[in-house]
Chain A
Amino acid sequence: MSNPVELHNVVKTYDLGENVRVEALRGVSLTIKRGEFVSVMGPSGCGKTTLLNMIGGLDNPTDGRVIIDGVDVTSMGEGELAKLRREKIGFVFQFFNLVPLLTALENVELPMIFTGKLSEAEIEGRAAELLQLVGLGQRMHHRPTQMSGGEQQRVAIARALANEPSIILADEPTGNIDRETGWKIIRLMKGLNETMEQTFIIVTHDPSIAQTSEKIFYMVDGQINPRPPKQITAPHPNNLTKERRQLLLAELRWLRTSLTSLEEKKGEMDREVYDQFKVRYTEQLERLKRIVQEVNKGGD
């Protein structure tokens, strides 16, 4: 059986007018297996969104090949891509992107209406079923404005599942809701991933959420690493530029918050995963502390 997602050396550049060219993806290759639950992490502007655009068939790459469910979609036209998105991909967005005029039920019906394969009654039945599945059986006829962020995101997840896609793409699904609700959403997605065959790809800023996935891709400057970005071998502390120091301090802060959130979620996490990350983070933290100390000692 073919892999749901295969990228071969994908390049995407944007022309921003006169001689200004942005390389959003610089040769990304990755393979995601069926049923995997993977995360994509990285600072903003690293190309995460562009990566999602490629996998989700929202845009064509400049170079390289994109293979979805064994079909090369690299140079598909608009119509073919629309069909691909309808049948193979489900999207979950940071800002939910529900149609405010439609009820939860109608929002979930949308993708099936666009597909046009089911009868009206079948569509409504399936939409209701999906809302039950995400725990919103009682809120079917509410509009997005009458729902909390978490509920809206559940509707969006139900919508993403509507056409039984093989891949669910979630772009910061917890980015706009409080942490606790965010975790409920993640658990819902994990649960769906386990009970259904779907492959989940989640972009997130939250390391503790990323930790729950089977695989994490770290993106830096339009490229991908299976491991957290290797720290640039520190030059002699005395040679550190001001910018470098600031970067190191930012990294330090990032690691500390990651560690805190890891501790917070300790109870809910797989012990093994927790330990693994704990070790990894602590190592990095110690290393950074050493560098900072040295910088301070070597001073000026």
Chain B
Amino acid sequence: MGRRKFRSALTILGVIIGISTMVSLMTVGYGMRQQVEITLNEMLGAGIMISSSGGGVDIPEYVQDFVSQVPGVNDSVAVITTMMNIGGQPRAVIGIDPTQATKLYHLTFEAGGIPTIGGENAAILGGATAAELGVRVNDTITLSTQLGGVGETFRVAGILRSIGEGQLNIGCFISLRAAQRLLGKEGYVSTIMVRLDNPTQGEQVEAILKNMFPNARIVRQEEIMRNIDRIMNIINGVLLALASISLGVGALGIMNTVMMSVHERRREIGMLKAVGAERWHILLIFLSEALLISLTGGVFGCILGLLGVYLIQWFVTALGLGFTIPLLVSPYILGTALLAALAIGTIAGFYPSWTAANVRPVEALRYE
């Protein structure tokens, strides 16, 4: 008896490993996708982005006025996206007219707020950056270009919330003018964000813009999203393939355990048939053994898988990769995992159960 319990426990462990791998990988994949989508939505509040084909800051600011005239364009904002040194590290900096910022981004403040337009140098810091730099509202920070130089000091006017939806991995926002001044590019911007009247007109507007500015790089958000989606699907596919390998091993474990159990209980099965059990009775008995193993493994696998996500999260943070994977408990993933457990239980359990169902009743009277 003890041996049998031990064997079942080992098999359940096999399923737990499979299911937990599946749950953690899928949760990580799902979290990454959500994260990427949210970030992109925040970053690309625009329907279309017009940027310099060379990636530099060389689009004349007045182009924005032309763009605004294009039919189908609701509004446009000229911005500079660049990297600058803040506290000794390069960070993403967006130069944007503060009043325009809210048109593009959903800004949620942890502290402070949007600075009023004025002569002073003010900045809005991303939550993560503020935490790393250890600064608070009204502290000052120094921004300098990557080429070096003295840089300028900025008063921290607001700090964005860093956790949860709307998290931006942006170092800081400063005014467009300040960004131009720091880079020495007065009158030029890197990107013009275009907001559309109607998202369905994207393609049309894109075509017009391409004609107007043949040298610029014009990207529709939809396309970016589609590309990202494709990449995310590949990543998810790979993760799922990894998970299914461990699930397959779990399935073999179940098959083996139930097969041995059938072998050991031939006489018992014969007896059940002798007292009147039919094939399907026996089939159900052994199938339910397989399902019990796989579902137990499934439930514990789900729990362990979510713990595994914490571990991965902690690991990623410890490595300092500069991004975090949100732990999103998705009922869809847990449901899929339990369904997978159910499926491997049924599939792996069927053959041994069928063998059991076909044990002949005369086995009851065979004594060896």
Contact = CB atoms under 8 A, between A and B. Distances in A.
Q: A and B from one assembly?
A: yes
Interface of A: 49, 52-53, 56, 58-59, 78-79, 81-83, 85-87, 89-91, 93-95, 97, 99-100, 110-111, 114-115, 159-160, 162-163, 171
Contact of A49 (B267, B274, B279, B365): B365
Contact of B364 (A58, A78, A115): A58
Contact of A114 (B281, B360, B366): B281
Contacts of A162: 275
19 contacts: A58-B273, A58-B274, A58-B360, A78-B278, A79-B278, A82-B278, A82-B361, A85-B276, A91-B274, A91-B275, A97-B271, A97-B364, A99-B272, A110-B275, A110-B277, A111-B276, A114-B276, A115-B276, A159-B275
B268 interface: yes
B6 interface: no
Nearest first, the 8 A-B pairs at minimum CB distance are A86-B276, A97-B271, A58-B361, A111-B275, A114-B276, A82-B278, A58-B362, A91-B274
A252 to B, nearest CB: 28
B277 A114 contact: yes
A22 to B, nearest CB: 14
**Max chain A C-beta neighbours (<10 A), residue from B272, B360, B361:** B361
A52 B361 CA distance: 12
B276 A83 contact: yes
Contacts of A49: 365-366
B1 interface: yes
A56 B274 contact: yes
Nearest to A175: B367
Contacts of A93: 271, 364-365
Given A53-B362, A85-B361, A95 B367 contact: yes
Given A90-B275, A97-B267, 14 more contacts: A59-B360, A78-B278, A81-B361, A82-B276, A85-B274, A86-B275, A86-B276, A93-B271, A97-B364, A99-B268, A110-B275, A115-B276, A160-B275, A163-B276
A59 B362 contact: yes
A81 B275 CA distance: 11
Interface in B336-368: 360-362, 364-367
Given A97-B267, A97-B268, A100-B1, A58 B275 contact: no
B364 A114 contact: no
Interface in B64-87: none
Given A99-B268, A100-B1, A114 B365 contact: no
Interface string B248-290: 0000000000000000000110011111111101000000000
Contacts of A89: 274
B198 to A, nearest CB: 65
Interface string B1-27: 100000000000000000000000000
B365 A52 contact: yes
Contacts of A114: 272, 275-278, 281
A171 B274 CA distance: 13
A85 B275 contact: yes
A122 to B, nearest CB: 17
Contacts of B362: 53, 58-59
A128 B278 CA distance: 24
A103 B361 CA distance: 23
Contacts of A83: 276
A82 B268 contact: no
A95 B365 CA distance: 9
A116 B347 CA distance: 28
B365 A82 contact: no
B366 to A, nearest CB: 8
Given A82-B277, A97-B267, A100-B1, A110 B365 contact: no
**Max chain B C-beta neighbours (<10 A), residue from A78, A79, A160:** A78
A82 B271 contact: no
Interface string B56-69: 00000000000000
Nearest to A86: B276
A162 B273 CA distance: 15
A216 B361 CA distance: 26
Contacts of B272: 99, 110, 114
A79 B366 CA distance: 21
B275 A53 contact: no
A43 B257 CA distance: 39
Contacts of B364: 58, 91, 93, 97
Nearest to A111: B275
B26 to A, nearest CB: 36
A172 to B, nearest CB: 9
A78 B279 contact: yes
A107 to B, nearest CB: 10
B170 to A, nearest CB: 62
A86 B276 CA distance: 4
A102 to B, nearest CB: 11
B275 to A, nearest CB: 4
Nearest to A52: B365
Contacts of A87: 276
Contacts of B366: 49
A82 B268 CA distance: 15
Contacts of B1: 100
A162 B277 CA distance: 14
Nearest to A85: B276
B365 A58 contact: yes
Contacts of A95: 267, 367
A160 B365 CA distance: 15
Contacts of B278: 78-79, 82, 114
A85 B281 CA distance: 15
A52 B1 CA distance: 31
Contacts of B267: 95, 97
